[in-house]
Structure 1
Amino acid sequence: MEIHIGKRVADVSLVSKEGNKVQLTIDGVPYEVDIMMAENGACSILHNGNSYNAELIRGEGGKSYTVNTHFLSYAVDIVDTQMKYLRMRKSSEERQDNKIVSPMPGKVVKVLVEKGDRLEAGDIVVVIEAMKMQSNYKVSSACTVREVLVKEGDSVASNQVLLSLDVITDKEE
């Protein structure tokens, strides 16, 4: 999952949890910690023989927190896969980039374009299935397909480029 800590973005994955012992990765770096949560939102973390205490104050919706330590306070937002997907879909509809990117891992169900095709705003270019849901990926402005980088049946990773495009500006038309 993606976690925003102030202006920093971290990719956090839970590897295992057994009682209070937690193994996780942060931006690919493995950590083993012992976490003890109290009812009042206080938490004690042991890592490499060091003890850290923090207070967690849950925000609205349960995906944002204020984390207070002895000296600092942090705004923390948890961006789950679905929220990341929706945010990327919204931003891609606002302004066409020179590529179409998969916001999450999935499977290419259909590729509707070929190299050299001229597209208009709203044209569907690829259909991806992720989390048992199919999503149509569209272009938001006129463009030409420079390169198709996937084919039907391919598995795709998060942030993988599916197509590269040449966006057509008003001057070119």
Structure 2
Amino acid sequence: MMNFEFVVDGQTCLLSVEKLAKGWQINIAGEKVVVDDWWVSEQEISLIIDGRSYVVAVVPQEESYLCWVQGEIWSISKPQQDAEFGRVEQDSSLEDKLKIKAPMPGKVIKLNVQEGDPVRENQTLAVVEAMKMENEIKSTVAGLVKKVLIKVGDLVENDKVLIELGIED
């Protein structure tokens, strides 16, 4: 399960996303929604929820995104206290935390570490781009980079292990 925190029109929101056998389950503000299918283009996301199609137009701004859905416009930004969209692994075992995975399909545009490098918790290890939105891939624990399974330019699928960490002795 992946957890995200962001601000929508001034309100902090927590969102969790879980991969199902077919589709995704999204939990936002206690409401669960199953997304049957989706596709992403340069500035649009198309979702099929309960057999209905929704198109989300996304326009990047300087420090936020404007999202248009069914005639409504929302401003989505990063939390003030954390200038990054944070991927939080709350219910993960240590073994899971040592495997850094792609939170979404995209292209690796930056790799900040190599095997053997020490890393601190929440350090940016790589950057994956999807729909011109950059998603920083962060370490979940302090330790050492054990394996780097990607290189700049690679296309990655959601949930693919990108980097494996090890705990320092």
TM-score by length of 2: 0.48
| Higher Cα radius of gyration | 1
Structure having greater relative contact order (Cα 8 Å, sep ≥ 6) = 2
Which protein has the bigger helix share? 1
TM-score by length of 1: 0.47
